[in-house]
Amino acid sequence: MTEPKTPKKGGGFLGWVERVGNALPHPAMIFVILTALIIIISALVTAAGTTVTFMDGRQGKEVTLGAYNLFTRDGLYYMITSATGNFTSFAPLGTVLVAMLGVGVAEYSGLINTSLKKLLSSVPKGLLTAVVIFAGIMSNIASDAGYVVVIPLGAIMFANARRHPLAGLAAAFAGVSAGFSANLLIGTLDPLLQGITLESLKTAGIQYGILPTANLYFMIVSTFVLTFVGTMVTERIVEPRLGSYHGDYTSDNQAITPLENKGLRNTGLVLIVFILVMAALMVPEGAILKSKDALTGEMNLNGFLGHGLIFVIFLMFMLLGLTYGKTTGKISSSDDLVDSMTEAMKSMGGYLVLAFFAAQFVSFFGKSNLGTILSVKGAEGLESIGFNGLPLVLAFILVSAFLNLFIGSASAKWAIMAPIFVPMMFRMGLSPELTQAAYRVGDSTTNIITPLMPYFAMIVVLAKRYDKKSGIGTIISTMLPYSLFFLLAWSLLMILWYFLGLPLGPGAPIHVTSLLGSLAL
């Protein structure tokens, strides 16, 4: 494979975005500045007396909300007393650190490098990009696991294939985050959104059922569409723009030795045993890892997938790395095992610093209620436009994508928007399944270009591993093409689906053909 030519530095709109973004202070200081702005804005919005009244889809009741003024005695008290808790409870912090302990063992032992060389020898070079993006999209079945497993591996896979590691990181990030709603299977997000949609219908007095599989058909097709689009964006836009890689990361491209092959065989046996044990804990009726779903009352794996999977990933990588290291002699004692984890944590120092300030910003922004106010005002503005049919669906996608820049949580945003749009669009003959699918399109595509996305700080730190000069501007300018093309392609797929009148899932139509008997008296 020939290396791409080095492009003109800073060329075009994306170059301008990168220059502006990277000219800003250190990312940690950017979060400090943004936090200061939130404090000031919260005071101004409070002084203006701005409030919003909306139906909360999770509580099933009407709520009136104003801004919380952080520039007060109580606000100052909150910020000081919550700072430590904000950091320790920052959602990605434990996820990233726990997973990296296990991944660190696998990387230190040489397992990851050897496994990738083996994988690359079997995957055609022309399909590498598609494999990385597809793996990223499919990883959302395991909630946030893709962020801490697939994205770092995407960069390493590209490096081992003598391609720019930042292109691999970007491709994986696009699949994991911008394609978060798409999948070939039902994930943890499906029943979560379905529960809020049902509550919104119930609150509005509409008797209509919707299943967790409501968007399954649409999301299956979306998986292949986004894989194709992501591959084209990577190879036609992102990778040529990045040019040849001249960083200090070097991949080991030597042939696999007999000892390494033996290590892979032993590791494979341990992996089979590990999978069998996990299957025994997950599959049988009444299995240990199954818990009762709060929404449906059924026993399922949603609780484990949402909270326990990261620890299992840690165990898996640690056991596999230990097996490989013992076989090859890289790990010969418990000291070596601990050293491997210590090395992994050393590389996370920059992330810890960035995560501390990011956690404060995210927490204070949430406390200020500014995101909720913006969401409700945006929803009311769209409702007042008077669109109907397909124009309304497309406008709803764009509004969802915009609001996603400010409220990262898919369920929190849907709890605000669903009680407004689900009944409104239902009464216009558009099914709740369609409204939910349109929301998921907008909610996913802009994840990768907003610093409010919880894992954004981790991506910035990972990028610095391969390019020390990279910053927030580098990430946003690299990911912006994915965001725009994913939004365009997904919207076009929605238009096609709408005109063909295809079911979005089992028993999930585009239109509600009859409202008779659906509205509660």
Model confidence pLDDT, tens digit, residues 281-306: 998 988 899 888 766 677 888 778 77
Residue 252 has a pLDDT of 55
- The whole-number pLDDT of residue 293 equals 73
3-state secondary structure of 378: helix
pLDDT of residue 513: 67
**Mean pLDDT score, 477-481:** 95
Tens-digit pLDDT profile for residues 122-137:
788 889 999 999 999 9
Nearest to 164 by CA among 253, 111, 238, 227: 238
The residues, ordered by sequence, that sit 6+ positions from 97 with a Cβ below 8 Å of its Cβ are 345, 348
Coil, strand or helix: which one is 396?
Answer: helix
User: Who contacts 468 (Cβ-Cβ below 8 Å, separation ≥6)?
Assistant: 247
412/78 Cα distance (integer angstroms): 22
Q: Is 430 helix (H, G, I), strand (E, B) or coil?
A: strand
User: Under a CB-based contact definition with an 8 Å cutoff, are residues 317 and 105 in contact?
Assistant: yes
| pTM to 2 decimal places | 0.80
pLDDT of residue 517 exceeding 60, the answer is no
Comparing 307 with 128, the larger pLDDT belongs to 128
| Nearest one of 452, 397, 426, 448 to 514, comparing CA atoms | 426
- Asked if the model's pLDDT at residue 519 lies above 50, the reply is no
Alpha-carbon radius of gyration of the chain: 24
Q: Is the pLDDT of residue 10 over 60?
A: no
Q: How is residue 293 written in tokens?
A: 């779903």
State the chain's mean pLDDT as an integer.
86
Identity at 414, one-letter amino acid code: W
In this structure, the number of other CB atoms found within 10 A of the CB of residue 492 comes to 12
Give per-residue pLDDT as tens, 154-165.
998 898 888 999
Least confident of 320-329, 406-415, 422-431: 406-415
- Residue 384 CB coordination number (10 Å): 8
When pLDDT is cut at 50, 70 and 90, the band that residue 7 belongs to is very low
d(CA 31, CA 354): 8
pLDDT of residue 323: 95
pLDDT at 120: 65
The tokens describing 393, both together, are 């669906």
In the block, tokens 């929190």 appear at 412
Mean per-residue pLDDT for 98-104?
86
Q: Is residue 521 pLDDT above 60, yes or no?
A: no
More confident position, 276 or 13: 276
Mean pLDDT of 464-483: 91
